[in-house]
Amino acid sequence: MTSNVWAVARKEFDDAGRSRLLWALVGLLVLVAAVGYAALWYADEPVTASEALAFLGVPLQVLLPIAALVVGYMAVVGERRSGSIKLLLGLPPTRTDVVLGKLLGRLAVVGVAVGLAFVVALVLGAILFGEAPVFDWLAFGAITLLFGAVFVAVAVGVSAAVSTRGRAMALVVGCYVAIVAFWELLTAGPYYLLYGHGPPVQAAPWYLVLEQFNPVLAYTTLTNLVLENDLVPLQFQYGLESIEAAGMTPAERYPGDAPVYLQEWFASVALLIWLVVPVAIGYYRFTRADL
Amino acid sequence: MAAIETAGLTKRYGDVTAVDALELTVEEGEVFGFLGPNGAGKSTTIDLLLDFVRPTAGSATVLGYDAQADAQAVSRRVGVLPEGFDVYPRLTGRRHVEFAIETTDADDEPDEILERVGLEPDARDRPAGEYSTGMRQRLATGIALVGDPDLLLMDEPASGLDPHGISDLQTLVREEADAGTTVFFSSHILEHVEAVCDRVGVLVDGRLVAVDTIAGLRASVGAGATMELTLDRPADRADDVVAALDDVTDVTTSGRTLECVVTDPRAKALVVTQLEDAGVTVRDLRVEDASLESLYTTLTDEQAADAAAEALEDGSGSDANPEREPEAVG
């Protein structure tokens, strides 16, 4: 790794800072925060600022992955298609510098959007609910950043791995659909075939590990751990899994003391693994590709 | 040490051989023209030198560094003007050059670089997406010059430039060459190569069919200059005088015009003096040097003839499918 990673990352950020995409993204997330807070305040329910913050996790579960995938999926393949990668790699930056720099630059873009949305949430929380829960705010902000970073990493990894825009788009859409829409089919489906029934609350450990590694579930698990709230993961339900299991963390479903890898805090490790593996695969393919 | 040296460099894409066992040496300090029609494999060769694509077989060194293993050392010392590149549409021309300076660890001034390549001051702080093709080409040339490279690799640098831009480019190439930079310059347009290059390599269908000076190439192919003389009388009364000379061939006449091909430059003066000695007055004289174009066509035809001969030898295989429509064969 050289200082050229930072040079590429700064160029990326400069470039993105001039793109309408970033500002549309910032606008969307800020709008979601503002509208959510206004709606809660208007409903006149007895809500604390901390609860309002957790409520923000509902739209973010859906929107942040989409936004992050959109920000990242053209990162590398876009330059391959346009030909600007020849200008870039004709200079000293290596393919390693390019992938890591792209990842950092695009992470910064999503970071700015999430950061601004959270500033709005903090200010509105103070104005509407008379509280500024700074610790909760920082912790939830960090978890949300990690969650967004996972999808940026998936998108950049895909972008580095493929040679056409169409394939990149198909793969990121596929990833999103697999995680949000088909997760239960992909995990509880095989479970059903193996055991003749869907996963009960106390499902087999391998199934709970898979649940632990669902990024959306990991996000709600971590959020609930820190905010002591009941943020429910938004996923398509197919009725394969026991209804009682909905909203339970893998640790709660494990009979007795959960092993380390099923404990709630371990969801952060699951997200970190998601952050690294797709980029590593994309990097591996990109360094071996004919451009 | 050679600036560029390839040994059996080969790149295949499936059944297509883009570069075929290339043996090429470019000496330090020379301006080397890399000539060939579109699709001959020029860009693939340059992509191989820059580690943009990996060889199927063979190897290449650039400034003594292995093009694959030491790709980073290569890119630090080489200025690249790629073909089919694009700029970052939202970044200004100046930001592009600043990025090049930063990554090359150079101490160039962006304005000096942009001045050299003739990018106007009012354009430098505009997004490069608004630039014309010629301006993009100038910007990319500027990026290639950052860090005073030892070798300039220019892939079709004249494409998209107007005549003025091409003249600027040729001046720049000469300046760089005078400063000791090796220049490797690919083109499918012969005049561009002819104007600046010391030596020329001709690539046809991925194979190097000739490497020589432009004069040497002409001599080896035997293409001479064509003389067209206007005489004071019908030319068919004088043609035997000219035809009798050594190094003069293909004498034809038409009215008062006599045309002949001279294979040795010194024969030109002889043609005129012999005619005058015979009492014929030469009213006008035009000499047309064999263009690289015709030379290039000759080389390509030779290559095609060789290929056709090979195809004939292998011909038995295709007879298995005699029903095939002619269009399908191509």
Asked whether the predicted pLDDT for residue B107 surpasses 80, the reply is yes
Instruction: Please say whether the beta carbons of A34 and A120 come within 8 A.
Output: yes
Helix, strand, or coil (residue B150)? coil
The helix-helix angle for A95-129 and A57-72 (nearest 10°) equals 150
Tell me what the mean pLDDT of segment A109-126 comes to: 91
Residue at B310 is within a domain: no
Contacts of B83 in chain A (CB under 8 A): 86
Residue at B307 is within a domain: no
Sign of the Cα pseudo-torsion (A211, A214, A220, A221, in order): positive
Residue at B112 is within a domain: yes
Asked whether the predicted pLDDT for residue B33 surpasses 80, the reply is yes
Judge: A92–B72 Cβ closer than 8 Å, yes or no.
yes
Q: How many helices (H) and strands (E) does chain B have?
A: 13, 14
Structure-token pair, residue B2: 């050679």
Structure-token pair, residue B13: 């894409």
Tell me what the mean pLDDT of segment B123-147 comes to: 94
Asked whether the predicted pLDDT for residue B92 surpasses 90, the reply is yes
Q: Is A287 on the interface with B (CB under 8 A)?
A: no
B274 vs B313 pLDDT, higher one: B274
Q: What is the pLDDT of residues A40-74, one digit of tens each?
A: 888 877 788 888 888 888 889 999 999 999 999 99
Same domain, B166 and B253: no
Contacts of B127 in chain A (CB under 8 A): 18
Query: Residue A137 to residues A51, A62, A122, A125, A268: CA-CA distances in angstroms?
Result: 11, 20, 7, 10, 17
Same domain, B40 and B103: yes
Instruction: Please say whether the beta carbons of B261 and B200 come within 8 A.
Output: no
Beta bridge partners of B62: B4, B65
Contacts of A92 in chain B (CB under 8 A): 72, 75-76, 103-105
Same domain, B114 and B259: no
Domain span at B64: 2-215
Asked whether the predicted pLDDT for residue B167 surpasses 60, the reply is yes
Asked whether the predicted pLDDT for residue B307 surpasses 80, the reply is no
What pLDDT score was predicted for residue B27? 94
Same domain, B231 and B210: no
Contacts of B47 in chain A (CB under 8 A): 290-291
Identify from A19, A80, A84, A100 which residue to disrupt to test chain B contact, counting B C-beta atoms within 10 A and taking the largest count: A84
Asked whether the predicted pLDDT for residue A175 surpasses 80, the reply is yes
Asked whether the predicted pLDDT for residue B180 surpasses 80, the reply is yes
Same domain, B209 and B229: no
- Say how far apart CA B265 and CA B5 lie, in whole Å: 34
Judge: A87–B143 Cβ closer than 8 Å, yes or no.
yes
Q: Where are the domains of chain A?
A: 4-163, 183-267
Contacts of A15 in chain B (CB under 8 A): 88, 90-91
Chain B: give the shortest CA distance to residue A90, in Å.
Answer: 6
Same domain, B182 and B103: yes
What ipTM does this complex have? 0.87
Contacts of A87 in chain B (CB under 8 A): 80, 82, 85-87, 96, 140, 143
What pLDDT score was predicted for residue B102? 94
Chain B: give the shortest CA distance to residue A32, in Å.
Answer: 28
Q: What is the pLDDT of residues B235-274, one digit of tens each?
A: 887 888 888 888 888 888 888 898 888 877 778 888 888 8
Asked whether the predicted pLDDT for residue B317 surpasses 70, the reply is no
What pLDDT score was predicted for residue B325? 39
Judge: A18–B76 Cβ closer than 8 Å, yes or no.
no
What pLDDT score was predicted for residue B114? 96
Sign of the Cα pseudo-torsion (B35, B41, B44, B45, in order): negative
- Say how far apart CA B248 and CA B246 lie, in whole Å: 5
Q: What is the pLDDT of residues A147-171, one digit of tens each?
A: 999 999 999 999 999 999 999 999 9
Chain A: residue nearest B82 by CA? A86
Asked whether the predicted pLDDT for residue B323 surpasses 60, the reply is no
Q: pLDDT above 90 covers what percent of chain A? A: 56
Using H for helix, E for strand and C for coil, what is the string for chain A?
Answer: CCCHHHHHHHHHHHHHHCCHHHHHHHHHHHHHHHHHHHHHHHHCCCCCHHHHHHHCHHHHHHHHHHHHHHHHCCCCHHHHHHCHHHHHHHCCCCHHHHHHHHHHHHHHHHHHHHHHHHHHHHHHHHHHHCCCCHHHHHHHHHHHHHHHHHHHHHHHHHHHHCCCHHHHHHHHHHHHHHHHHCHHHHHHHHHHHHHCCCCCCCCCHHHHHHHHCCHHHHHHHHHHHHHCCCCCCCCCCCCCCCHHHCCCCHHHHCCCCCCHHHCCCHHHHHHHHHHHHHHHHHHHHHHCCCC
Backbone angles phi, psi at A41, to 5 degrees: -70, -40
Polymer length of chain A: 291
Instruction: Please say whether the beta carbons of B144 and B184 come within 8 A.
Output: no
Give whichever of A223-237, B40-54, B287-301 has the largest mean pLDDT.
B40-54
Structure-token pair, residue B60: 């290449």
Which of B192, B215, B238 is the last residue in one of the domains?
B215
The shortest CB-CB distance from B99 to any of A11, A82, A291 is to A11
What's the structural domain count of chain B? 2
Which of B215, B250, B275 is the last residue in one of the domains?
B215
What pLDDT score was predicted for residue B249? 80
Confidence of residue B67 (pLDDT cuts 50, 70, 90): very high
Structure-token pair, residue A50: 């901390």
Residue at B322 is within a domain: no
| Cα Rg of chain B, angstroms | 25
Residue at B323 is within a domain: no
What pLDDT score was predicted for residue A146? 96
Mean pLDDT over the full length of chain B? 85
How does A244-282 read in b/e, with b if 16+ C-beta sit within 10 Å? ebeebbbbebbeeebeeebbbebbbebbeebbeebbeeb
Backbone angles phi, psi at B138, to 5 degrees: -65, -40
The shortest CB-CB distance from A84 to any of B51, B86, B104 is to B86
DSSP letter (8 states) at residue B179? T
Residue at B180 is within a domain: yes
- Say how far apart CA B198 and CA B30 lie, in whole Å: 6
Confidence of residue B95 (pLDDT cuts 50, 70, 90): very high
The count of other CB atoms within 10 Å of the CB of residue B178 is 9
Confidence of residue B324 (pLDDT cuts 50, 70, 90): very low
Chain A: give the shortest CA distance to residue B199, in Å.
Answer: 24
Same domain, B117 and B204: yes
Amino acid sitting at position B246: D
Judge: B71–A94 Cβ closer than 8 Å, yes or no.
yes
What pLDDT score was predicted for residue A254? 87
What pLDDT score was predicted for residue B296? 65
Q: pLDDT above 90 covers what percent of chain B? A: 49
Tell me what the mean pLDDT of segment B85-89 comes to: 93
- Say how far apart CA B300 and CA B202 lie, in whole Å: 9
Asked whether the predicted pLDDT for residue A1 surpasses 90, the reply is no
CATH of the domain at B69: 3.40.50.300
Which of B215, B242, B276 is the last residue in one of the domains?
B215
Same domain, B195 and B239: no
Confidence of residue B124 (pLDDT cuts 50, 70, 90): very high
Same domain, B245 and B103: no
Beta bridge partners of B262: B225, B248
Tell me what the mean pLDDT of segment A106-130 comes to: 91
Residue at B124 is within a domain: yes
Same domain, B52 and B85: yes
What pLDDT score was predicted for residue A36? 87
Chain mean position to CA B288 = 21
Chain A: residue nearest B140 by CA? A87
Beta bridge partners of B154: B81, B185
Structure-token pair, residue B17: 């051989």
CATH of the domain at B268: 3.30.70.100
Residue at B44 is within a domain: yes
What pLDDT score was predicted for residue A275? 95
Same domain, B241 and B208: no
Same domain, B234 and B207: no
Contacts of B103 in chain A (CB under 8 A): 4, 7-8, 91-93
- Say how far apart CA A93 and CA A105 lie, in whole Å: 15
Chain A: give the shortest CA distance to residue B99, in Å.
Answer: 7
Tell me what the mean pLDDT of segment B90-105 comes to: 95
What pLDDT score was predicted for residue A228? 82
Q: What is the pLDDT of residues A183-223, one digit of tens each?
A: 988 998 899 999 988 888 888 889 999 999 999 999 999 99
